[in-house]
Structure 1
Amino acid sequence: MKGNPLKRLIAGVTVAATLLTACGANDKPADQAGGAGTIKAGGTLYILSDAAGQQYDPAKSGSLVVTGLQFVHRRLTSWQVAPGKDTTIVPDLATDTGKASDGGKTWTFTLKDNVKFADGTPIKSADVKWGLERSFASAFSGGLTYHKDLLSPGLAYKGPYDGGKELDTIETPDDKTIIFHLARPYGDWNWVASTPAFAPVPKGKGAEPNYGEHAIASGPYTIQKYERGKGATLVRNQYWSATEDTTRKGYPDTVEWQFGQQTDVVSKRLIADTGNDQNAFGVSFASPAQLAQIQGNASAKSRLVTSESGALAYLALNTTRGKLTDPNVRKAFQYAVNKAAYQVASAGSAQLAGDVATTLITPGIAGREQFDLYPTKPEGDPDKAKQILAAAGLPNGLDNLVLATKNENNYPELAASIQAALARANIKVNIKTLESDTYTEEIDTKANPDYDLTLASWQPDIPTANANLQPLFQSTEIGGGGVNESRLNDPAVDKGITDAQATVDPADAAKKWVELDKKLMADSVVVPLIYTRNSFLHGSKVGNVTIGRFPAYVDYRQFGIIQ
């Protein structure tokens, strides 16, 4: 769905090329977290962020279920996340994960009894509807958009402030029932209901642009104070119940956000682990400088938590350019790339970088199948790549291909590792580095961009194969801000996506997505490189610091203070 601000991530945790001892995901029992004692309700949790703020307007938010928005807002559905397990869907405000009818075009949810906003008023189905209606208003754009075209094809609906119109595809027959009438069957709608726009907003509220600074809470905390660029104070919502809300622990009494923090300063503070910083968590991925400092500090090492897997780093092949229109030519790239060298360039070691990737659906997605259509060593097989090129009529290889990438977050060094690997197979590449905004304009927006290859990574907003594959390979995502950088325009792929999206039964849908994964790999439209890992550092008194298989982020819902 074009316009979805899904997670376009740095391809791996970039680390200085030193030999570091890798921590696996949640190696140390999280409730110990380097300190004595046990987790109890109470205390203050400090969140150290390099961003200028935290978006608490659900219409404008792209926040994952497990990160910052969850402190203040609930949604219709949520995720069960645990180390070593695939992420599953569970109810949040709703009594279940939704009931599909009419072949998947209609979805019905029922709200739980006695759920309330922080002002004590009951949360009603009309409040969920209102929150979704707000998301269509141009003044509140910027959030995730999975729901929009399904509820208003062509985005004809412009929000409740345009003449006070209601969105008639959402029905609220009573205070607890909400019925969605979709434009087409959509099996993942219950997952879509876990995105931020499904957080309730009291009907008629939230017209002001800065609503996010004083949003009315449905989660365990309410916003007491918010200063952009400085910080925010969240205090307990007296009307939230830990007994009823089984996905959030709500242990701390107070959550203090500190905004605008320099990452190198955060690193030093968390490594030093003194005073209030013992109760602190760093939002940003551990940087090369952090990891180098951690190398010689046993205490800090014990407080470094690394994901089991993460975003798919990949090399996209422009299927509309020159010889790359031939899938037989594209298959040579599967053997030419040196994924082991990419791991080292990405993070100094395979353990920290992430496992070699062979599929497009990432680990942690239910129904995913592990397969490898191009079995070879992690270092690749340049001789085999040459043979494939020769059989395709290119005995001298390929010259003057343009590899486009961003000039930030170690991408130039990663591109150089790809360039060197391809050269072994007589594939000559020129690297074209671009500023982030220029990259989006030149590569993802122009009708006929100048590139043959791109280096990128992708982590979906929801743990479904749909969110893995549709944005990267549906023809509607070519140009105009879409991220189909292979520029694949294949009617069979488009039909496969639509058919899989329309399948309500999860097991049947999973089979269709796996078939599509295999087709895309057989056509060699991208070269999957690694499933990247993320590392995070925290203070010694922060407990329950865990990362599940998906997403590759710490689950903020579980945090507690060791006392």
Structure 2
Amino acid sequence: MDRRDFLRAMGLTAAVSGTGALLAACHANEQSGGGALTVSSGGTLYILYDGTSQRLDPAKSQSLAITLSGLIHRRLTAWKTSADGPATVVPDLATDTGRASADGKTWTFTLKDGLKMSDGTPITSAEIKYGVERSFDPAFSGGLGYHKTLLAGGGAYTGPFKGGDLASIETPDAKTIVFHLARPYGDWPWIVSMPAFAPVPKGKGTDANYDSAPVASGPYQLESLTKGVELRLSRNPNWDPKTDVARTGLPDAVVMQLGQDTGVTAQRLLASAGNDAFAFGAAFVNPAQLAQIRTNPAAKNQLVTSESGALAYLALNTRRGPLANVKVRQAFQYAVDKTAFQIASAGSADLAGPIATTLITEGIAGREVFDLYPAPPSGDVAKAKQLLAEAGFPNGIQNLDFPVSTDNNDADKAQAIQAALQRAGIQTKLRPLDEDAWQAVVTGNDDNAYDLTLGSWQPDFPSANSNIQPLFGTSEIGNGGYNQSRYSVPDVDALIAQAQGTIDPAAAGKLWAQTDRRILQDSPVVPLIYTRNSFLHGSKVGDFEIGQFPAYPNYLQIGLAK
């Protein structure tokens, strides 16, 4: 999926304010870590967010496990992130990451002892079951919904208020919860780290007001909410840090300031006056600002940049005209100029992110590095022309329809792609569309609606499954799905199903790497770059680190210096 709408909902969108002149004197320097501050318990952490609302109802949330929702809600499992290796799944409310049956269709979890919610409600299997069941009710839609098709009977279930109990979730006792799946699924331990698996006391959350009054299981509870202005979190007195390996819970309070101008935010954080010294920006820094900020040695400990991130790619409609020919699609691998794309994306190669050659992104366990189409970063025009000739197009290809979103700087990136393709005799016509119209075209049901388009994919959880299946599974073509290349190959679908049903992570990783190679042999997309993200924080914010995955700071670990 193009993650722009998803990231907006999380407060992780790129800043677009033009305040370069005001930042020109800052001369900041990029660094890959959060500095050497010594943090301690106490203080108030401030989050400066350009959006005007946050989804605090776990049934409606699409938040990554390491962002704001994770400070309020615990789940059965959690993510452990590291700059030194891939993200790993760890126990959270559960004692382990789940025990699978021999056929991979039944998963059992045991809860830790003595867990309580902020209102004093004991956290039992019943609260987990009820929380998951709520997410099926249409009134609480919008959250991450992988579990809805994986749980047996989930497709027809309408939630606890109209549909009663979901039989595929069993609670034989207060500490045991058993999930019966419709098919084997090795990534179930990642699925239960998603927001919908947060406990909700029975009888709560019966209407939309739960978004403004959630009962907490994490280190913080909602103290106050001024819509469009601020939400304030205070300590949850019933949170026990001894049971929580994912969260440090160091600050006494967390305040998210809403509706912040991203350009002003950058100035405030660099100045670090007053409370801004204890703040960070939830939006990543845009390239125009970053190019100036990173030249300032005084700010080097306030700027943190990911090593890589979301996959940016060029999708080729495999069901459309000449692009149905695999050799034509392979020609695109050599025709593109990835360096030009980097410059168009962020002004320089190092700011944009490293060149991509695989579909599985960095920081995902099992990823293998390979390049089926070795070429200089600027491309190999002669090789592209050779493949076009072998495909029966010695004079090139004309008039390919190239819809592009007018959001962000996608038009600049598309123009860089267009110019590179033209060198090989591939002529495209750019079709600018607003974001909603573009989404309707590339995720709609008309196979003939376009020839190629730009996409960007941020996996929802740290598994190659989340890289591959949503972009290349036949089930994801049309109907709002993000298989933008309209790619449908039975043996690839079979590989995806086999990898999803493999319980052993190492064995599954090998299958996903095999699938990655198999898909790229057909060249349905051209991997372009792994997009880097940069974030600013105040001078008193420590443990502000971005792991290998995801390319965002881990809110759950941040602490403050005195």
- Bin of the TM-score, shorter chain as denominator length: over 0.9
Retained in 2: the 8 A contact 1:106–1:182?
yes
Aligned counterpart, 2:343 = 344
What amino acid sits opposite 1:361 in the alignment?
A: I
Residue 148 of structure 1 and its aligned partner are, at CA, apart by 0.3
SS in 2 for 1:401: strand
Partner of 1:61 in structure 2?
A: 61
SS of the residue aligned with 1:454?
A: strand
Secondary structure at the aligned position of 1:53 is classed as coil
CA distance in 1, matches of 2:275, 2:14: 30
Q: In the TM superposition, what is the alpha-carbon distance from 1:330 to its structure 2 partner?
A: 0.5
Change (3 A) 1:558 1:11: closer
| Equivalences, count | 555
* Match status 1:195 vs 2:194: yes
Q: CA deviation at 1:12?
A: 8.8
Change (3 A) 1:13 1:492: farther
- Show the counterpart of 1:509: 508
State the shift of 1:84 in Å: 2.2
The residue aligned with 2:88 is 88
Instruction: Assess if the C-alpha contact under 8 Å between 2:336 and 2:420 holds in 1.
Output: yes
Per the TM alignment, residue 264 of structure 1 is displaced from its structure 2 partner at its CA by: 1.6
Aligned to 2:320: 321
Retained in 2: the 8 A contact 1:13–1:352?
no
Task: State how 1:290-309 maps to structure 2 within 5 Å.
Answer: 290-295=289-294, 297-309=296-308
Q: Identity of paired residues, percent?
A: 55
SS of aligned partner of 2:127:
helix
- Alpha-carbon contact 1:11-1:457 (below 8 Å) kept: no
What is the Cα deviation at residue 301 of structure 1?
Answer: 3.4
What residue in structure 2 maps to residue 46 of structure 1?
46
Contact in 2 for aligned 1:45/1:561 (Cα 8 Å): yes
Aligned residue identity for 1:249:
T
Q: CA deviation at 1:491?
A: 1.3
Q: Retained in 1: the 8 A contact 2:15–2:263?
A: no
Q: Is the 8 A contact 1:404 1:454 kept in 2?
A: yes
For 1:23, which of 26, 30, 33 is the aligned residue? 30
- Distance in 2, matches of 1:520 and 1:415, equals 23
1:235 CA drift (Å) = 0.3
> What CA distance in whole angstroms lies between the structure 1 residues aligned with 2:104 and 2:549?
25
Shift of residue 439, structure 1, vs aligned partner:
1.2
Task: Find the counterpart in structure 2 of residue 231 from structure 1.
Answer: 230
Q: CA deviation at 1:449?
A: 4.6
Report the counterpart of residue 285 of structure 1 in structure 2: 284
What is aligned with 1:241?
240
**What amino acid is the match of 1:337?**
V
Offset from partner CA, 1:101-142 (integer Å, 9 cap, x none): 041100000000111101122100010000000000000000
Q: 1:63 is matched by which residue type in structure 2?
A: S
Contact 1:24 1:308 in 2 (8 A): no
Q: Which residue of 1 aligns with 2:113?
A: 113
Q: Deviations over 1:186-233 (max 9, x none)?
A: 110011011110111012211120202110000000001012201111
Q: 1:495: how far off?
A: 1.3
Q: How far apart, in 2, do the equivalents of 1:98 and 1:428 lie? A: 52
Give, in whole Å, the separation in 2 of the partners of 1:502 and 1:375.
33
User: Contact 1:52/1:259 (CA < 8 Å) preserved in 2?
Assistant: yes
What per-residue deviation string (whole Å, max 9, x for no partner) do you get for residues 363-411 of structure 1? 1010110001011111111111001111111111111111122101110
- Are 1:6 and 1:144, in contact at CA under 8 Å, matched by a contact in 2? no
The answer for the alignment partner of 2:481 in structure 1 is 482
Q: Distance in 2 between matches of 1:481 and 1:228?
A: 31
Q: State the TM-score, normalizing by the size of structure 2.
A: 0.95
Superposed CA deviations along residues 460-501 of structure 1, whole A, max 9, x for unmatched, are: 110001000000011111111101000012111111111111
Aligned position for 2:436:
437
Q: How does 1:72-471 map to 2 (within 5 A)?
A: 72-153=72-153, 155-162=155-162, 165-295=164-294, 297-471=296-470
* Mapped contact 1:279–1:540 kept (Cα < 8 A): yes
Q: Which runs of 5+ in 2 are unaligned?
A: none
What amino acid does structure 1 have at the position aligned with 2:248? K
1:394-430 per-position Cα deviation (integer Å, ceiling 9, x unaligned): 1111111111221011100000110011111111111
Contact 1:6 1:461 in 2 (8 A): no
Corresponding residue of 2:560: 561
Give 5+ residue unaligned stretches, structure 1.
Answer: 33-37
3-state SS of paired residue (1:281) = strand
What TM-score, normalized by structure 1, do the two folds share?
0.95
SS at match of 2:529: strand
User: Partners in 2 of 1:270 and 1:538 — Cα distance?
Assistant: 6
Q: Which amino acid aligns with 2:30?
A: C
The 1:8–1:211 alpha-carbon spacing in structure 2 relative to 1, beyond 3 Å, is closer
Post-superposition CA distance 1:322-372 (Å, at most 9, x none):
011011111000000001111111111211111100000001010110001
